[in-house]
Amino acid sequence: MKRLVLSVLVVCSAAPAAIVAAERFDPCSLLTRREIEEIQKDRVVSTKASEPERDRFAVSQCFYTLATFSKSISLEVTRRHAGEAESPRAYWKQMFARALEKGKEHEEGKREPDVNAGRPEKEREGTARPRPISGVGDEAFWDGSSLGGGLHVLKGDAYLRLSVGGPDPVPVKIEKLKKLVRHALRRLP
Question: pTM for the whole thing?
Answer: 0.74
Whether residue 89 contacts residue 157, with contact meaning beta carbons closer than 8 Å, is answered with yes
pLDDT attached to residue 157:
93
Instruction: Give the residue extent of every domain in the chain.
Output: 26-187
Q: Report the candidate in 29, 88, 20, 25 with the shortest Cα–Cα distance to residue 55.
A: 88
Question: What tens digit of pLDDT does each residue of 73-90 get?
Answer: 999 999 998 777 788 999
DSSP state for residue 31 in the 8-state scheme: S
Whether 110 has a pLDDT exceeding 70, the answer reads no
Whether 172 has a pLDDT exceeding 70, the answer reads yes
Fold for domain 26-187? Protein Transport Mog1p; Chain A (3.40.1000)
DSSP string, 49-96: EE----SSSEEEEEEEEESSGGG-EEEEEEEPPTT----HHHHHHHHT
Residues in the chain: 189
One-letter identity of residue 175: E
pLDDT attached to residue 64:
97
Distance of CA 6 to the CA centre of its chain: 43
**Mean pLDDT, residues 94-109 taken together:** 64
Q: Name the residue with higher pLDDT: 146 or 166.
A: 166
